[in-house]
A and B are shown apart, each in its own frame.
Chain A
Amino acid sequence: MSTTNQLISIKGGRRPGILLALLASVIFASSIAIFAGPDTNAPPAQVSDAKADAAKQAKKVKKKKLTGAELYQLNCNRCHAERYPTEFTPAQWKTIMIHMRVRANLPAAQAREILKYLQEDSGN
C-alpha cells in the first residue's frame, strides 16, 4: 500500500468517527434541549399561558414598590456610609430627612418612605 493510499485509508477510516461524534453531539444537544426546555407535553396554549404568567410575575417583581429600606440603600449610600436608625430619635430623623430631601434632591414620596423606615427602629 502506497503512502497516499495509506493516507486515504486513514482519512477514510476517520470519517465514521467524525460522523459519530457529530451525531453524538446532536443527540447530546437535543437531550439538553428536551430536559431543560419547557414541557413539550403540555398543549401549546398552556405553554404560552405559562410563559405569559412568568413574564407577568417578572414584571410585577420589577414594578414592586420599593420599601423604605431599599430606598435608603439606593439614595443614601451613594453619598455617605450607612447611618443607623438608632443614632437619632424619631423627631431628629424627621428634621434630618427634610435636610437630606433638600440637599440630595430626594422625591418627597421616597423621603417619606425612608423616614418611616428610620423612625421604626430609631433611638429614644
Chain B
Amino acid sequence: MKIPSQIFGTLAAACMMAGVLPQRASAQVSTNDFDALKKIVEQMGDRLQKLEQTHAQDQKTHEQDQQVILQLQKQLGETQTAVTNAQQTANTVAQVQSTYPVPGASQGPMHNVTLAGDAEVQFGKTAGQHSAFELADFAPIFLYRASDDVLFEAGFDIMLNNNTDVNGNRAPGSSTSVNLSFATLDYLLNDYMTLEAGEMLLPLGTYNERNAGWLNKIPDDPLVCDDLIPGSGVGVQLRGAIPVGESGQMVTYSAYAVNGPSSGASNSIADAGALDLAGNVGDTPNWHANPSGGGRIGWFYPWKPHYDFELGLSGQTGAWSDSGNRSWSAGVVDAALHLGPNIEVKGQYIDTWVETDDIGKIDPKGWYLQAAYKLAGLGLEMPYINNFELVGRYDRENDDGLFGGGAGVTKTDRYTTGIVYYFSSTLLFEADYEWWVSHGPSPQPFNGPGAPTSFVLQLSYGF
C-alpha cells in the first residue's frame, strides 16, 4: 500500500526545521506549539505503523490468493484433461456404435415381452352326427421386443379336437395338436423396409395373415385358402409400405423366398396326390432342391375413416418335385371394401397351376366372397340389437383333379350364413349354418361324414 506523500512531506519538513533552524529560533518555539507538533509526529508514527501492518496483511492475502489461483489452475488443468478423455471416450463409443448399433434410451424399457393371441371354444352339429363340443383352441402369440427395431414373434395353435386325429382326419376319440403357426425374427431396416426371417405367414392374399379366430367372422376358413395355397413357409422376406400423400393412402409390398410346397410321397414321383402345400422340410422327404419365390403388392385407399378399399395381387412359384422339375405356381387377387363402420365386403380369387406326373398340368382354382353388416347401422335404439352382425359367405372351388388324382374333377360350392354377437370388442359369439354342394370323385367336406350341412357355434376371445 502507498504511504501518502503528505505525511512524508510533513515529517521531512519537521526534521528539516529542527536541524536547520538556529538554537535561538528553537528557543523561540512555545511549549504548546512543540507539544502540538510532537503529538502530530506521534500520530503520524502510529499511522505509519498501522499502514505497515495493513501492508503486511495485504501481502499475506496476496500470497493466499496466489495459492488459490494456483490451485484453480491445477483444477482447470485436471478438468481439461477429464474433458479430453471424455471426448476421446465418446469418439470411441461412436465408432463402436457405427459398427454395432446400440439402441438408444427411449420410453420404457428396451426389452419387453407381451402376450397376445386368441382362444376359441366350438360346439357343432353335423347332419347324421350327435352334437358336441368339437374343439377348444388356444393360440397364443409371444412377442419379444429386443430393441426399437428388432422383434421376435411366435404364434402357436394348441387345439383339442373331438373325433379327429392329429392330422385333422376324422377319427374316433379326441386328440390334441400343437402347431407352430409362425415364428419370425423381424428387423426394421428403415422406415420403408422390414426383414422377416423364419416360419412366416405367407402374403398370398390377405387371409393367411388375418385369420385369427376373433378376426374372422366365420369359424372356418374359406375353402380356397385351406385347400389350394400354403398358409406359411420357412424362409426370408422383405416387406414394407410406402405412404402416398397425407390421406392414409399407401402402397404395400412383400417379396419372399421359402422352401415351398413339396412332395409328401416316399418316393420322387410327382403325382397330383403327393402335393404337400405345407411341405417345407417336414417329416417326409423334401423332393425339390430349389426354394420358391413369391410376393404381393397392395394398394390401400381410404377416403375417410371406416371407408376404404384395398386391392392386392400376389403370387408364388417354384418346383415342388425334382421329378421332371415339376412346378407349383399360384396367383391371387384379393380385395376388401369398407363402407362405414358397419359394412364390410371382402374376397379372394385364387388360381394355381400344378405340374404332375400322372395327370399333367392341372389348374385348381376358386374364390370366395364374404359380406358382413352390423345392425348398429340401422340406428335402432334397442338394447343388444346393435351388438349383432350378419355374415354371409360363398365359396367356390374346382380342384381340376388335384384331390382325386386321375379319377376326375371335383367341383364344390359352399354357402355359409351366420351372425356374430359382440359382448365386447374382443369377446364374440358366432353362430353359423353352412351347406355344401360338391360333385366329383372327392366330394367335400373331407373331414366330415359326407354330411352336406352343419351348424357351428363358437365363442372367440382375442387378447
Contacts and interface: CB of A to CB of B under 8 A. Distances in A.
Pairing of A with B: yes
Interface of A: 62-66, 70-71, 73-75, 77-84, 88-92, 94-96, 98-99, 101-103, 105-110, 119
Given A66-B246, A81-B425, A96-B114, A109 B191 contact: yes
Which size bracket describes the interface of B in this complex? 35 or more
Contact of B462 (A66, A74, A80, A107): A80
Of the candidates B108, B186, B190, B194, the one having the most CB atoms from chain A within 10 angstroms of its own CB is B108
B209 A103 contact: yes
Interface stretch (B83-91, B227-235, B237-245): B237-245
Contacts of B143: 95-96, 98-99
B215 interface: yes
16 contacts: A62-B247, A73-B305, A74-B308, A77-B305, A78-B336, A80-B215, A81-B426, A91-B107, A96-B143, A98-B143, A98-B188, A99-B141, A105-B240, A106-B241, A107-B250, A108-B192
B112 A94 contact: yes
B194 A95 contact: no
Give the secondary structure class of B's interface: strand
Contacts, number: 110
B145 A95 contact: yes
A74 B306 CA distance: 6
A70 B191 contact: no
A107 B108 contact: no
Contact of A90 (B107, B336, B426): B107
A103 B206 CA distance: 10
Contacts of A79: 210, 215
Nearest to A63: B246
B298 interface: yes
Contacts of A63: 245-246
Contacts of B245: 63
A109 B239 CA distance: 15
Interface in B404-463: 422, 425-426, 428, 462
Contacts of A101: 188, 194
Given A79-B210, A108-B188, A119-B107, A65 B246 contact: yes
Given A94-B108, A105-B252, 18 more contacts: A71-B248, A74-B305, A78-B338, A80-B214, A81-B422, A81-B425, A82-B425, A83-B425, A90-B107, A96-B116, A98-B186, A99-B141, A99-B153, A105-B241, A107-B243, A107-B250, A108-B191, A109-B191
B398 interface: no
Interface of B: 107-109, 112-114, 116, 141, 143-145, 148-149, 151, 153, 186, 188, 190-192, 194, 196, 209-210, 214-215, 239-243, 245-248, 250, 252-254, 298, 302, 305-306, 308, 310, 336, 338, 341, 422, 425-426, 428, 462
A77 B305 CA distance: 9
Contact of B306 (A73, A105, A110): A73
B185 to A, nearest CB: 10
A66 to B, nearest CB: 6
A64 to B, nearest CB: 7
Contacts of A84: 425
Contacts of B310: 78
Sorted from nearest, which 7 A-B pairs have the closest CB atoms? A91-B108, A108-B191, A81-B425, A105-B252, A73-B305, A95-B145, A107-B243
B341 A77 contact: yes
A70 to B, nearest CB: 6
Of the candidates A77, A88, A105, A106, the one having the most CB atoms from chain B within 10 angstroms of its own CB is A105
Contacts of B148: 94
Contacts of A88: 114
A102 B250 contact: no
Nearest to A110: B243
A21 B3 CA distance: 122
B305 A91 contact: no
Contact of B151 (A66, A70, A95): A95
B23 to A, nearest CB: 108
B425 A74 contact: no
A77 B343 CA distance: 12
Contacts of B425: 81-84
A119 B314 CA distance: 34
Contacts of B426: 81, 83
Contacts of A70: 248, 305
